[in-house]
Structure 1
Amino acid sequence: MKLSLLIIAVTAAIISTEVVDAAPSSMSNCVTQFSETIINLLQNGQESTNFAQCTKDNSGNGYAAGVINFTTGSGDAWRVIKTFMSMKGYANEFDEYKDNIDTYIQGNDGSTEGLDNFCDGWKKASDNKSNSFWNAQETILGTEYYKPAQKQTSNLKIALDVTKAAVLDSAIVDGPGSGKTSMGGIIKTTNNMINKDIKGDSGSTLSINGYNVDEIAWLKLFLKRRTTVNSGSKPNVNAYNQIIKDREYSWDTSTLVVQDDSGEEHTLQCH
């Protein structure tokens, strides 16, 4: 679980033969950009992206680094590194960990013993002019977070951009798995709560357990469940509730106004 995140903004600024499109095809460019910036803003208080950041994880999960605070304790930081090692731009930044990389990938108890040079290597790799390390981060972001979110929204036949973004937000902040506190588990619990038709005026209806459920009504239940199991997601949930209140269901515009946890409004731009 990641409660403090930096998230990548998918832009045309990265030019490389190894660029990987992390965003699922069912999500428009503006949906991915807005949802990513919301996470960045609400979890870190900034809209900008930081591939190079690396700090001791405040939840005891080792080091947290990169665009979504991949952690050494969970293993996804090591999967980024292994992906980078296979790219032609790799310049030996993590060679001291190479022999044990597969062991590290399995995850651990969050110990940083023997990792004294980890952050130095991460920052050095992020400055690599080939952009390969940026692309390695995008690759893991895509396979481990975007794709599970896309699968869930596709299975539910979700149509509205705000719902797609909220599910992606949960995958990244809460984790993409099926446990009760992760995205998949939260969706399962939300669906299990539905035992009747729920009307609404969103213009999109989901079929849940044989019942017709207005999509925004479902989203409200999903967001409420998120805060029940993960208090750290509350700023993000509050922002989405405000977006719902403003009836910004489809994000086909170049701007989106989002409130941070203090109530200050931020106008996000889709490039």
Structure 2
Amino acid sequence: DIALRITNVYENGDTEFHYDYCEDLKDGRGITTGISGYCTGTGDAWEVIQEYHKLTGGNDDFTPMDKTLKKYSDSESDSTVGLENYCDVWTKLGKSDTKFQQAQDIVRNKLYYLPSQKYADDLGLRLDISRAQMYDTGIQHGTGEDADSLGALINDANAEFTQDSPGDSKSTLSINGNQVDEIVWLNMFIKVREDDLKNPKEEDNQGGGYWAQTTYRTKSYTYAIEQGEFMFKNSVKILDNDGNPITVTCNTSTSQRRRRRDRTRPRFSGHRALVKSFGPPKSRRQRPQRFVEL
């Protein structure tokens, strides 16, 4: 849907789902792959492979690498020894194997999409732009329990509301017992997130100042809010990674220049943090999804 494609712009520089992407970015996370930047050193890539094995019966091109992938996942190692053919296999399957693409979708939903939408449900968010912002934050900041995570940022934003805060979005949240307009809350959340990008709390997220270079994500959402893009319908106007206005629609790719994948997520924002925080993923969300389906 549109929310996923918006995040694709920030992650990949276009709206497409790059199931075949595979690269060693030398960022301490091993090899980075697929639609959500699954990494061999953080565990979520191994999650994808295991889901793929379930769909293939366990005998596929990744099977010879299973022991190595599990070892690097368990030890959180960025080593690529023994994975010399890994990108060749990932790229080949990512381009045409629908089961492998399905496995990536399953893990994205389990680790990032569904947890982010659970937060949206708990907050009572009803506007597409708010729920999409929860997903994008979950992808970059993680859905676990550390100080830079989606949940922590929500708590920080909520703490700013000590009285009723009216607005014009026609959607009202109950925050700390106060009646808060949803767009007023969203603007505060985006401010809190941007502050966190500039000054991450977790040491693992501070190196190189990389997060501070990605405030185009928050500025893009602020632009969409200013355009009144609260409900997406069939399209939404945002800013691309260079600050240029673009329109994201369902089933339509953007033709903007590709830029390097945004690898600014917390080092261990994947399955370990998720399991600790949420337990097994639920099969049914509390409220029906409001995004436009592809």
TM-score (norm 1): 0.81
* 1:1-271 pair list within 5 angstroms: 33-88=1-56, 92-106=60-74, 108-127=76-95, 129=97, 131-230=98-197, 231-252=212-233, 254-271=234-251
Q: Structure 2 vs 1, CA of residues 115 and 181 (structure 1 numbering), >3 Å: closer, same or farther? A: same
Separation in structure 2 between the aligned mates of residue 59 and residue 184 of structure 1, nearest angstrom: 25
The answer on whether the counterparts of 1:93 and 1:124 sit within 8 Å (CA) in structure 2 is no
Structure 1, 71-80 or 221-230: larger mean CA deviation: 221-230
**Number of equivalenced pairs:** 237
Structure with greater contact order relative to length (CA < 8 Å, sep ≥ 6): 2
Give the Å deviation of 1:101: 4.7
**1:205–1:215 Cα contact (<8 Å) kept:** yes
Amino acid in the other structure paired with 1:240: Y
- Post-superposition shift, 1:100? 4.8
Contact 2:72–2:78, Cα closer than 8 Å, also in 1: no
CA shift at 1:66, angstroms?
Answer: 0.4
User: CA 1:245–1:128 in 2, change beyond 3 Å: closer, same or farther?
Assistant: closer
**Aligned-residue CA RMSD in angstroms?**
1.9
**1:194–1:208 CA contact under 8 A, matched in 2:** yes
> Does the 8 Å contact 1:174/1:182 carry over to 2?
yes
> Is the partner of 1:105 in helix, strand or coil?
helix
> TM-score, with normalisation over the residues of structure 2?
0.75
Deviation at 1:233, TM superposition (A): 4.0
Structure 2 stretches of 5 or more lacking a match? 198-211, 252-294
Q: CA deviation at 1:121?
A: 2.1
Is residue 62–residue 112 contact of structure 1 (8 Å, CA) maintained in 2?
yes
**Matched residue SS, 1:201:** coil
By how many angstroms is 1:255 displaced?
A: 2.2
Amino acid at match of 2:14: Q
